[in-house]
Amino acid sequence: MPLAAGLALSAITQAVLAQAVTPAPSAPAVVPAPESAASSPESSVAPAAAAPAAKRAAPSTQLDAVVIVANKREERLQEVPASAAVVQPQQLDQQRVVSVEDLQRAVPTMQGSGNGLSIRGYGATSFSPTAEGAVGVVVDGVSMGGSSETPPNLFDVERVEVLEGSQGTLFGKNASAGVVNIVTVAPNMKSFGGVARIEGRTRSSGGAQFALNVPASEQLAFRISGGLVQDPRVVHNIPDDSWDGTQRQNARARMRWLPTTDVRVDLSVDNSVNKIKGGTPTVFYKTTPGSPLTAALAACGVTVGEENTQGCASEGYKRKDESRGASGQVDWFLGDYTLTSITAIRRASTETTSNELDGINVPVPSATQAPLFKDFKNTSQEFRVASPDFEAGNFVLGAFYYNQDIDGGSERKIVVPPGLTLGDTKQQTGSTRSLALFGQGLYRATQDLSFTLGARLGHERVSTTASGALLPGAIAPVIAANLNPVNAELTDTYYSYKTGAQYQLTKDNMVYALYTRGYKGPAINDVIPSPDTPVIVQPEIPKTWELGLKNQFLNGRVGLNFTAYHTKAENYQTTVLDPITLSFVSGNAPSATFKGGSVSFYGRVTPDLMLNGGLSRMTTETERASIGATGSEPTIRATLAATYGFWVSDFRASVGTDVTYEDRPADDPSAPLSWAHKATIVGAQAGFRSPDGNWGLTLNVRNLFNKFDPAGRSGYFLGQFVGDTGAAFQTFKPESLRVIGLTLDAKF
């Protein structure tokens, strides 16, 4: 939204709200205290929930400060000159956000999944093993790097920060579109306690979770958390009577130790495992009447149509993703300075053991791609020193080292009439080495005017070795290029920087302007299907302008923020499907432009009403060397979460709703099977807590009006192979159909 419009709306809003609120001293930016059971035993419950009727206090209007670490130090959201969204545990529970990709239900600028996550429309899926996504994922200060393709699940979380725009100066080379920063709940030495939750849901879903805080002394505490969650079923594969629905297993153990008053040590180990044991990843919603594909699906029992959720693969889809690791952080408080060391070892893997690409259970023709696996091994080390917040400003300086080794392999097999087999195998290894120095500082020129300047100098080395072989029994490979060896290496030295200014208009209103030059590291294609396919995918350089206006109302209880941005990514890394070999390869478009604006709001409007939400308008234009610039209509996304609390006798009750709206244009409006998505999905919640606040019961409905909402639709890339070039398929998400759940939680 244009900055002038934001200023005007801000002034009008302040004038209106001023009539309803008695002036009081300024307060920090805030978020609501949760009405539902918190994720940690130390977190508060609904205001005055423990008070019996005779002793009820009025609901609190003072709320916890919203804290983010966009500048590698804890700061209040409304004081940071950057666009960011903070999702608290109450909202994660309300919207059933259990994975990083689920965050798009709470953050309107976020879309996609895996290494295809995007923020502000910026981000593209890559099939090169050494390529990384444009959105960095950080957990407790540890960058996931390439393993962000399979990030840990979200459980026992204190907050999730979504930092929008290039964050490369402080967070590194895979943060050109933004960063998802996950902060888990830390142990505390104050009290023994825990939380437990069990939930039953329709469509054979539900789960159980727990967290336990154990203080061993005034200087040492442990926290153990874990759970098992079953996602709702959507797709039924008829031949083997199997269903989809991810099963999520989570575990984490943390330790906090204060050996001296000047040293804090945090150790953590975690493991997340996601399994899919059936269904099919895609189902057909459109085929050509009379085609061989239509006949085969009908014989299987599949009714092709817009709301089809049945598959016909000979064997259901089977996949396992795992993310695990250990990390240690040591903070030395040297006077007013803080020296921090973060060391981490992580491993992530994805393995597919059954994946039928043709989608029909006939022996000829048939196409499979399994087994398929990737394995990431990461080691990282960060040192940094943060200054105190002087009257004149502050700074942070640091160094970062990162090493990633990648192993991967795949097998493709096609059987064609009269039963001849085409097949090949592929093995890849790769590595990425990164070394960087970084620094950023804030200078306060006057009481109201401040300037930000930061820079990063880094060195990258990327290498890949790939080889292929003919599948035993095959007469020829599926992709001839798979048999060609690839052995390549690239080194690059780069710089990125950030500069900006902020001005405090009043104690509750701040305007800022930023310019950043980011960096997304190079990659290497492991398959070279044609002479035009580049071996090296060049680094991507995003350059972003951002203007923002941040406002507080109701004595700091409500925040209302506006942002406008323009990003031009030079050498934009993108993925295309080679039509001859059916291989996905990476390359560079000359540039891509991402522009738009957003509005976000949060806080407690009244003592009993809490709101969080936002609206985003995003437009993308990509310049391709062969066809020039191609643009799209803007994507409009909006989110809202609202909760209202009230007393029923001695029980604290609450009702709530959440809404996600999306109007996304087709990727290519000229393509007959290109899909445009427009949907409004509504959720609802109602619950109560006991008089002492120690247990609660909540009814939660996702997709309240049962609106059929696929995750995506596309033309079938094997249409010619199965005799139907007009075929199209669709994919799903857990909320594609209505889900009703009942949750019982307890704290002790």
The tokens describing 428, both together, are 């890849």
Domains and CATH numbers, the chain: 3-314+324-360+386-747 (2.40.170.20)
What would you report as the CA-atom Rg of the chain, rounded to the nearest whole angstrom? 26
Report pLDDT for 673: 59
Query: What pLDDT, in 10s, does the model give residues 615-659?
Result: 999 999 887 644 344 445 689 999 999 999 999 999 999 999 999
Report pLDDT for 674: 65
Report pLDDT for 669: 53
Look over the chain and give the mean of its residue pLDDT values, rounded to a whole number: 87
Q: What is the dihedral of CA 5, 614, 544, 585, to 10 degrees?
A: -140
Average pLDDT on 602-619 reads: 94
The DSSP-derived string for 410-467 is EEEEEEETTTEEEEEEEEEEEEEEEEEEEEEEEEESSSSEEEEEEEEEEEEEEEEEEE
Q: Is the peptide bond before 371 cis (omega within 30 degrees of 0)?
A: yes
Please give the Cα distance from 352 to 371 (Å, whole number).
6
Any idea which of 56-60, 71-75, 216-220, 472-476 has the lowest mean pLDDT?
Answer: 56-60
Report pLDDT for 226: 96
- In this structure, the strands spanning 628-631 and 558-578 are unpaired
Helix (H) or strand (E) holding 225: strand 220-230
Query: What pLDDT, in 10s, does the model give residues 421-446?
Result: 999 999 999 999 999 999 999 999 99
Task: Please classify residue 455 by burial: count the beta carbons closer than 10 Å to its beta carbon, then call 0-12 exposed, 13-18 middle and 19+ buried.
Answer: middle
The phi-psi region of residue 42 (left if phi > 0; otherwise alpha if psi is between -120 and 50; otherwise beta) is alpha
**Taking the chain, what is the end-to-end CA distance rounded to the nearest angstrom?**
46
Query: What pLDDT, in 10s, does the model give residues 3-15?
Result: 444 544 444 344 4
> Pick from 93, 102, 207, 109: which is nearest to 641 by CA?
93
pLDDT band at 370 (very low <50, low <70, confident <90, very high): confident
Report pLDDT for 116: 76
> Pick from 6, 31, 156: which is nearest to 559 by CA?
31
Report pLDDT for 18: 41
Report pLDDT for 714: 87
Average pLDDT on 536-542 reads: 93
Contact 678, 702 (CB under 8 A): no
The tokens describing 69, both together, are 């670490």
DSSP-derived 3-state class of residue 709:
coil
> Pick from 731, 735, 734: which is nearest to 706 by CA?
735
Residue type for position 95: Q
Helix (H) or strand (E) holding 384: strand 366-386
Enumerate the β-bridge partners of residue 680.
661
Contact 392, 373 (CB under 8 A): no
Residue type for position 505: L
- CB neighbours of residue 191 within 10 Å: 11
The DSSP-derived string for 156-200 is SEEEEEEEES--HHHH-TT-SSEEEEEEEPPP-SS--EEEEEEEE
Please give the Cα distance from 311 to 367 (Å, whole number).
15
Residue type for position 218: E
The tokens describing 71, both together, are 């500048």
The residue behind tokens 């009403």 is: 609
Report pLDDT for 540: 94
Report pLDDT for 34: 37
Contact 51, 42 (CB under 8 A): no
Distance set, CA 577 to CA 127, 214, 407, 527, 725 (Å): 10, 53, 23, 12, 16
Checking if the pLDDT of 246 tops 80, the result is yes
Query: What pLDDT, in 10s, does the model give residues 261-290?
Result: 999 999 999 999 999 999 999 999 999 999
Which residues are within 8 A (CB) of 50 and not within 5 positions of it... i.e. 6 or more apart?
Answer: 691, 692, 693
Query: What pLDDT, in 10s, does the model give residues 446-467?
Result: 999 999 999 999 999 999 999 9
Report pLDDT for 123: 85
Any idea which of 424-433, 509-518, 576-585 has the lowest mean pLDDT?
Answer: 576-585
CA angle 264, 72, 104 (to 5 degrees): 115
Query: What pLDDT, in 10s, does the model give residues 109-159?
Result: 998 876 678 999 998 777 788 888 889 999 999 988 765 567 788 889 999
Report pLDDT for 732: 94
Q: Is the peptide bond before 485 cis (omega within 30 degrees of 0)?
A: no
